[in-house]
Structure 1
Amino acid sequence: MTALALPARALTRRRARTALWSLAAAALLVLLTGIALGTGQLDIPVWDALRALVGQGDPGNVLVVQQFRAPRVVSALIAGAGLAVAGSMLQRLFRNPLAAPDTIGITGGASFGAVLMLATGASQQLIPLAAVGGGLLAALLLGGLAWRSRMAVTRLVLVGLAVQQGLAAAVNLMIVRFPAELASSALQWTTGSLYGRNWNEVSIGGTAIALTAVGVLLSQRRVAVLDLGDDSAGGLGLTPARDRLWLLLLTITLASLAAALTGPVAFVALAVPHLVRLLAGPPTLGTLGLTALTGAVLLLSADLLVLHVIPVHGLPVGAVTATLGAPWLLVLMIRQGRPPQRNSR
């Protein structure tokens, strides 16, 4: 057996493992979607709920599923996938397992932009654009702080958390100052919520997220070259600083658009890339697809917990994901803070 045959076989096994996990995640996603569409005050069998989604079956079921339940479910799927992909990209670009939209201030900036747009009384259709602007503002603020102090990438996450909390405080202040009729519509920007989503929001936000995600997928070869290091990437024809900046802008846009649909939902972008690496190995184009599916499964599962398991009426889905994410973030920070182990021999 030649030395070249071993890597080829290992690559084939890795691709097969990624494909199997992707099929399992897709099947679980279909099942969870059917449960989410069929469960509520009016229970509908899973198969009938899926048929009602495409306009078949009992007219009453079609009305309930298409108009009231489907927008919330589709929002969870789109936003979960977008956040997970954005988290994976940020961790690769920063080469830091702690990097995520909710740990470097991006979702906080998106929330700030969206709430500021609500405060001006502008059209709801401008919220995705305002969220992207807020996310870019947070990134510029973080980048300016990092450039002035020349801080290490590991410390960048700590500063990002401070930026996130500062922007969250600004959002809370604006909500307190809002008239009562506006405050309720802005509350989702404090923790993240899927309540009250409609097809207009889903169509605008979903289309923008899908187009941005396609751009991320098309850039994967460039990301793979950047993973080799700046010297190697430059030797292969890339301009590392320019390409990394472009990819970072694309990723920030994706995360901000996802936050515009759900608010600052925590944990999904941070944890899913780690889980996918554990299941399928190092990042590739195939594992990025698995990351999107896993993010959708995680956010939809959390929303099902909020609606049908946890006995607290009106609990936002972001509260559940944040509760899960806090210990995960603590463990990662402890692991990052440990000095590398040396061989005692």
Structure 2
Amino acid sequence: MLILTGSATLVLFVLLTVSVTLGEIPLPVPVALRALVGLGDAGDVLVVQQFRAPRSVAAIIAGAGLAVGGGVLQRLFRNPLASPDVMGVTGGASLGAVALLAAGASQLLIPVGALVGGLSAALLLGVFAWKSGLAVTRLVLTGLAVQAGLAAAVNLMIVRFPAELAGSALQWTSGSVYGRTWPEVWGACGAMVVALAAAFLLHRRLAVLDLGDESAGALGLSTTAARLQLLAVAVVLASLASAVAGPVAFVALAVPHLVRFAAGPPTAGTLALTGLTGAVLLLASDLVVQHLLPVEGLPVGAVTATVGAPWLLALMLRQSRPVSRNHV
């Protein structure tokens, strides 16, 4: 576990270094790192600190939040298809953010709108799921329907936007970290740190829930309260990530599976590794968008969706495959 965590941390540092050196004005690594801490030529400092660094930090915190939120939801519902983007949470967060943007609110309030939208979507999903009997498969299907409806609402709002706001709002429909500023990033980053800390503090309750409701109750855990707390943390993580990067698809779905495959059964260590892997994946995808693809202005969500769509299809086919039984 230490090797995997150390490797992920090293890869993240390398990607961060690359992200502040590459661009229309390429910079040597020593110059870029000096500019990152405010040293060196004023022009280099401006390029690194005001344009490249906020975008990279936004990708890191959004990737970590989505991955940890997805990991918590998958364990909570005991279903590999459970994730914020599949269950409508990121769609609600996008709707809340775009609504504030349409109202001309300050960029500092965008995370608040995303949080309210994500919580509202989770509440709406909970109402529908309660009426349908709380079946996990039905919950996922209901979440997909909620996500589609919220995406349609966002698109309708964008169509009615003034031309000068439509371009800014489009990033919330596909996922992008382009044009992030430090006020946006620091506000979401501070809230994200609190939410991630809460996820780690509640990890033991998640481990107890893995034993089953009867065993958890016998150990003195209120299963209903614990589930609500964990669900709230997962929704907050996904909503804050969406406030920074929009509804980036499939990071929350795929990363927990990759970590389980590489690191084994879930622990507090694997939860940390999940956050690091999500940060690596989203930052790497953003570098691909910026420097490797011939199409300019492509959102990072296009890369994660291209990789994640086959993954979701494979998971759904695996879930729908009947279990074989040995007949005597």
Q: Given the alignment of the two structures, is residue 320 of structure 1 paired with residue 297 of structure 2, yes or no?
A: no
Q: Given the alignment of the two structures, is residue 146 of structure 1 paired with residue 122 of structure 2, yes or no?
A: no
Q: Residues of 2 paired with 1:148 and 1:32: CA distance?
A: 46
Offset at residue 186 of structure 1 (A): 0.7
Alignment of 1:197-212 (within 5 A): 197-212=180-195
TM-score, normalising length: structure 1: 0.93
TM-score, normalising length: structure 2: 0.97
CA RMSD of aligned residues (A): 1.1
Q: Residues of 1 paired with 2:25 and 2:174: CA distance?
A: 28
The answer to whether the 8 Å contact 2:21/2:28 transfers is yes
Q: Residues of 1 paired with 2:248 and 2:258: CA distance?
A: 18
Matched residues, percent identical? 66
The answer to whether the 8 Å contact 2:132/2:138 transfers is no
Offset at residue 117 of structure 1 (A): 1.2
Residue 72 of structure 2 is matched in structure 1 by 89
The one of 277, 280, 288 equivalent to 1:294 is: 277
The one of 263, 266, 284 equivalent to 1:280 is: 263
Q: Given the alignment of the two structures, is residue 46 of structure 1 paired with residue 32 of structure 2, yes or no?
A: no
Q: Output the amino acid matched with 1:270.
A: L
Alignment of 1:125-136 (within 5 A): 125-136=108-119
- The CA deviation string for residues 106-153 of structure 1, in whole angstroms up to 9 with x for no partner, is 000000111111122222222111111111111111111111121510
Alignment of 1:120-199 (within 5 A): 120-199=103-182
Secondary structure of the residue aligned to 2:47 is: helix
The answer to whether the 8 Å contact 1:34/1:47 transfers is no
Q: Residues of 1 paired with 2:31 and 2:212: CA distance?
A: 52
Offset at residue 344 of structure 1 (A): 5.3
Corresponding residue pairs, total: 328
Q: Residues of 2 paired with 1:113 and 1:43: CA distance?
A: 37
Q: Residues of 1 paired with 2:217 and 2:132: CA distance?
A: 27
Misfit runs of 4+, over 6 Å: none
Q: Residues of 2 paired with 1:151 and 1:279: CA distance?
A: 31
After alignment, is 314-323 or 102-111 more displaced?
A: 314-323
Q: Output the amino acid matched with 1:97.
A: P
Q: Given the alignment of the two structures, is residue 69 of structure 1 paired with residue 52 of structure 2, yes or no?
A: yes
The answer to whether the 8 Å contact 1:115/1:171 transfers is yes
After alignment, is 42-51 or 129-138 more displaced?
A: 42-51
Residue 26 of structure 1 is matched in structure 2 by 9
Offset at residue 56 of structure 1 (A): 3.0
Q: Residues of 2 paired with 1:344 and 1:295: CA distance?
A: 43
Offset at residue 61 of structure 1 (A): 2.2
The answer to whether the 8 Å contact 2:36/2:53 transfers is yes
- The CA deviation string for residues 231-276 of structure 1, in whole angstroms up to 9 with x for no partner, is 1111111110111011101110111011000000001100000000
Q: Residues of 2 paired with 1:287 and 1:341: CA distance?
A: 31
Secondary structure of the residue aligned to 1:187 is: helix
Offset at residue 37 of structure 1 (A): 0.5
Point out where structure 2 has 5 or more consecutive residues left out of the alignment.
Answer: none
Q: Residues of 1 paired with 2:10 and 2:261: CA distance?
A: 20
The one of 233, 255, 269 equivalent to 2:238 is: 255
Point out where structure 1 has 5 or more consecutive residues left out of the alignment.
Answer: 1-17
Secondary structure of the residue aligned to 2:249 is: coil
Q: Residues of 2 paired with 1:157 and 1:80: CA distance?
A: 22
